[in-house]
Amino acid sequence: MSNRFSSTVLIAFGALATHAAAAGPVASSRALARGFIGRQADPAGRAGTVKLKEIVVTATQRVEPVQSVPFQVTAMTAHDLTRIDAHNLGDFAAYVPGLITNSGAAPGLIVIRGVTMGTGGQLSSAIGLYLDGVPLGASTSFGLGYQSFNVNTFDLDRVEVLNGPQGTLYGADSLGGAVKYETAPPDPHTLHAVAETEISHTEHGGTNYGLRGMVNLPFGAGLGALRIDAIDNHDSGYMRDPVYHRDNQGATRNEGGRVQLLLTPVSDLDIRLGVFYQRDPSVGLATAFRNFVTHRPTIGTYDQAYPLEQPAVSSLTLYSAQINWRLPWLTVTSITGDQADHGFSLSDESLVYDALLAGFGAGNDPFQLPVDTDTHRITQEVRLVSHQEGPVRWIVGGYYDHEITNEIVDLYDRANPGGTFFGLVPFNADLPSSYREVAGYADATISLTKRLSLGVGVRYSAQRQSYQETTFGLFATGSNAVYDSPVAVTNQNVATYSVNPKYRLTRNVMLYARAASGFRPGGPNFVLASGLHNPSFAPDTLWNYELGEKSSLFDNRAQLNFDIYDIEWHHIQLVVNNGGVNQLENGHSARVQGAEMSFRARVTPRLSLDGSATYTHAWLTAPAPVLKIGYPGARLPMSPRFSFALLGTYHFLLAPLHPAALTVSDTWMGERTEGFGTSASARYSLPSFNTVDIYWAVTLSHALSADVYMKNAFNAAGQIDATTLANEYDPSAPTPVIISQPRTVGLVLRASF
């Protein structure tokens, strides 16, 4: 069955099969704890169940309904995540307008509103990533900041996706927006526990399993509570290497847990202490080889051929403390984070270096690139937030960030003893660096009339980076001589701003406008002993201009949100190869124009519907000589012109006391590109694809529920992303392409106590 036909079938079905209203943060966390309750509709169909429930977010650092936030925010509640069996960002990204990712369970690139230069074109993140208010990952290219850690979603209260730059409240690296993971807090009133087990099978792969559990222990008398989570998820992988006889390539595992302690010594003070740990080992890559010109498989649809094994592991350990002290006219919030971020990979770079060194007698040697990165990051934020009452609401805060990163990069020719090439080690580098940021910000919302308010914000940030490199090897020094560079230091200052008026046309219809800026830190460059080339690069900056509306219709039985935006991106940080080494240089400018739409509609007590659609047009507005692009208008990579998602659930009684729900989703990803199509950046077109998922859930007893699902029901082999570096030197080289997960059928059993 063709993807186009399956999409048509699902659109028709979506008018009938529609989902239950999403629960608010408190309700959704309790629903997860009690098992299936969060999914149930009222089988009797009473009128009181028709209205949509309010979702509350903290996108503006205040607690407020998502429909009152004057910019595009998507909240995926615990109910939403459980309903589509989402365990990581890759599982729910397609349902969020403007959000793109190339990751599964492993770390990957996150893109919001097309603000990216693609997988091989950026080394720092363009989005802010947060867990309970603590920024995650490294702020710099030396810590591989673009590889956003993929937090497991079990026992989350919600995920908030903030579209557009968030420079005033969230600071550096939030050029395109921010993703906030908010965990379910300890409940001081209820003793409860949840246990989940999951088993599934993926075509072309094998058996997958998951074990997850949570227990909440209140201390009594409202003194606080302890909440403990544990996860162990295994994905079998579905790629095959018939040349080197390896199966289940791309297999991943998520293991870890979380402990949270809530203390409420007095009524106006709460202290929340947390320890989070997650480790994600993987075996091989979820890539298949495609012909660069025809895009057809060079071996098979899910086949690859790498001479070397490619294990990898990433881990995050986070200690956090959040204090909220409610005073008569303001609240003082302190958020402290201490994290250790580790990543290690052994990647097979044979395609790239065999193409690059074809004229030097390398033949078809297997080249291996070990990369070992450790980042220790301490952050501290303190903010004062006025109470909701009054004509002026304000936030004043300060932020401190200190990061120490050590990155070790090697390159070996595994065809020769000791990994040498012409008797010399090809490359070895030890790259210690540090990053320090001090920032202050202020934000105010002024009520000009009962219907009109004006939001303004400003943030000033000072960053200091230091960096040193110790290198040796043929590609670094031309010999085995050690090159130890002096310490390079950069000091940079950036201010960001926001202006955000909103107007209440009626009690249920809000119009808003927004002008906001963001930035990404610059810093020192990696250099060769033979020459400095570009010893440093500057921050890149971005302005977003937006108009939108948010409305609740038909007595809050439906919600419709729509926005259009225009982004101007300047001094873009580009990855450029200078003398055989990748550096960051500032390019010229780009522009992104787009529109986003999302809706929720409760048609009847048993029928409801969710959907979203996105249009994105992203291009370079000037020539980019460093990329060998001599004309304006080159399309930015990983930006589909169109995408949409439609999701529905039909609630019914399978039997007395056994409510059930059938959920069907249809997501469509438009055509995208990777690279720019020049001699400096080969261009590969990623065709559009359609994915259909089916979920069936039933309550078996008061404490037990079961979910059965079929993901990618029509087995679409969607091409998600590609790596074209080898094709820049050899167009005949196969192109590794990330392929979407084939049809997967699974069962989840959930018990609550």
Q: Tell me, what CATH number does 67's domain have?
A: 2.40.170.20
CA distance 189 to 223: 9
CA distance 505 to 496: 29
- Least confident among 399-413, 567-581, 736-750: 567-581
- Phi, psi for residue 479 in degrees, rounded to 5: -160, -170
pLDDT digits (tens, 9 = 90+) for 352-383: 888 877 766 666 889 999 999 999 999 999 99
CA distance 718 to 712: 10
**What is the predicted pLDDT for the residue at 6?**
36
The residue whose two tokens read 């895009």 is 295
- Which of 549, 539, 582, 254 lies closest to 427 in space, CA to CA? 582
Residue with the larger pLDDT of the pair 120 and 59 = 59
Instruction: Tell me what the pLDDT averaged over the chain comes to.
Output: 88
Angle, vertex CA 163, rays to CA 161 and CA 164, nearest 5: 145
Whether residue 627 contacts residue 577, with contact meaning beta carbons closer than 8 Å, is answered with: no
Number of domains in the chain: 1
- Least confident among 86-95, 102-111, 231-240: 102-111
Residue 599's Cβ-count burial label (10 Å; 0-12, 13-18, 19+) is middle
**What is the predicted pLDDT for the residue at 530?**
63
Mean per-residue pLDDT, 257-269: 95
- Least confident among 138-147, 188-197, 345-354, 458-467: 138-147
**What is the predicted pLDDT for the residue at 539?**
92
- CA dist 742 → 4, 642, 713, 717 (Å): 17, 23, 8, 7
pLDDT digits (tens, 9 = 90+) for 117-161: 887 778 888 999 999 999 999 998 887 777 788 999 999 999 999
User: In the structure encoding, which two tokens stand for residue 73, read together?
Assistant: 């925010």
Quote helix, strand, coil % in the chain, to nearest 5.
10, 55, 35
Element (H, E) at 200: strand 192-202
| Per-residue confidence band for 47, with pLDDT thresholds at 50, 70 and 90 | very low
Count of other CB atoms within 10 angstroms of residue 214: 23
Q: Which DSSP string do the residues of 348-361 spell out, in sequence order?
A: E-HHHHHHHTGGGT
Straight-line distance from the first to the last Cα atom of the chain, in angstroms, rounded to the nearest whole number: 43
CA distance 589 to 586: 9
Element (H, E) at 408: strand 392-413
| Per-residue confidence band for 262, with pLDDT thresholds at 50, 70 and 90 | very high
In this model, does residue 314 exceed pLDDT 60? yes
**What is the predicted pLDDT for the residue at 625?**
84
Mean per-residue pLDDT, 694-699: 96
In this model, does residue 215 exceed pLDDT 60? yes
Domain that holds residue 682: 3-752
**Three-class SS state of 214:** strand
Count of other CB atoms within 10 angstroms of residue 702: 12
In this model, does residue 554 exceed pLDDT 60? yes
pLDDT digits (tens, 9 = 90+) for 315-348: 999 999 999 999 999 999 999 999 999 999 999 9
The reported pTM is 0.92
**What is the predicted pLDDT for the residue at 108?**
82
**What is the predicted pLDDT for the residue at 184?**
96
- CA dist 669 → 179, 287, 564, 716, 721 (Å): 20, 18, 19, 12, 12
| Per-residue confidence band for 16, with pLDDT thresholds at 50, 70 and 90 | very low
**What is the predicted pLDDT for the residue at 650?**
95
DSSP-derived secondary structure letter, 631? S
Q: Which DSSP string do the residues of 302-347 spell out, in sequence order?
A: TB---SS--EEEEEEEEEEEEEEEE-SSEEEEEEEEEEEEEEEEEE
